Amino acid sequence: MTRGGPADLVFSALPFPRSPAGHDVVMLSPLFLVPVSLALLSLLLFGMSWFEQRLLSPQALIVHAARSRQAAPDQVEMLVAAQSERLIQGLQISSGERRPTPSR
């Protein structure tokens, strides 16, 4: 004997198993991937920023060239002069952006 009405007969004829509403396991994996992908992207951006600031910045190149024993002193001096010039120009540009323009 069946306990329920016609709705139970319809659901029992379906080939898919019934799961309670709100407990769908299939939807958990795509929902879980959204925060995981956001976390991975933020870690990638943080790592790239760290790499650029620590290893590719003009300051890092100057320090590396100064500590290098294989480079000739003339080459080190030329590199330090070129990178120092880039740093000075960058500081002048950034300080020029901060100054308010006088109003007349």
Q: Distance between the two ends of the chain, CA-based, in angstroms?
A: 94
Q: Is residue 8 part of a domain?
A: no
Q: How many domains does the chain have?
A: 1
Q: Is residue 40 part of a domain?
A: yes
- Taking the C-alpha atoms of residue 101 and residue 69, their distance in angstroms, rounded to an integer, is 47
Predicted pLDDT at 11:
54
Taking the CB of residue 90, how many other CB atoms lie within 10 A of it? 11
pLDDT, tens digit, 9 for 90 and up, residues 25-74: 666 677 888 999 999 999 999 999 999 888 888 788 778 877 877 878 88
Q: CA torsion angle for 33, 38, 44, 49 (degrees, to 10)?
A: 180
Higher pLDDT, 8 or 70: 70
Phi, psi of 32, rounded to the nearest 5 degrees: -75, -30
Query: Which range of residues forms the domain containing residue 82?
Result: 28-97
Q: Is residue 80 part of a domain?
A: yes
Q: Is residue 81 part of a domain?
A: yes
Q: Is residue 71 part of a domain?
A: yes
Q: Is residue 15 part of a domain?
A: no
Residue 21 has pLDDT above 70, yes or no: no
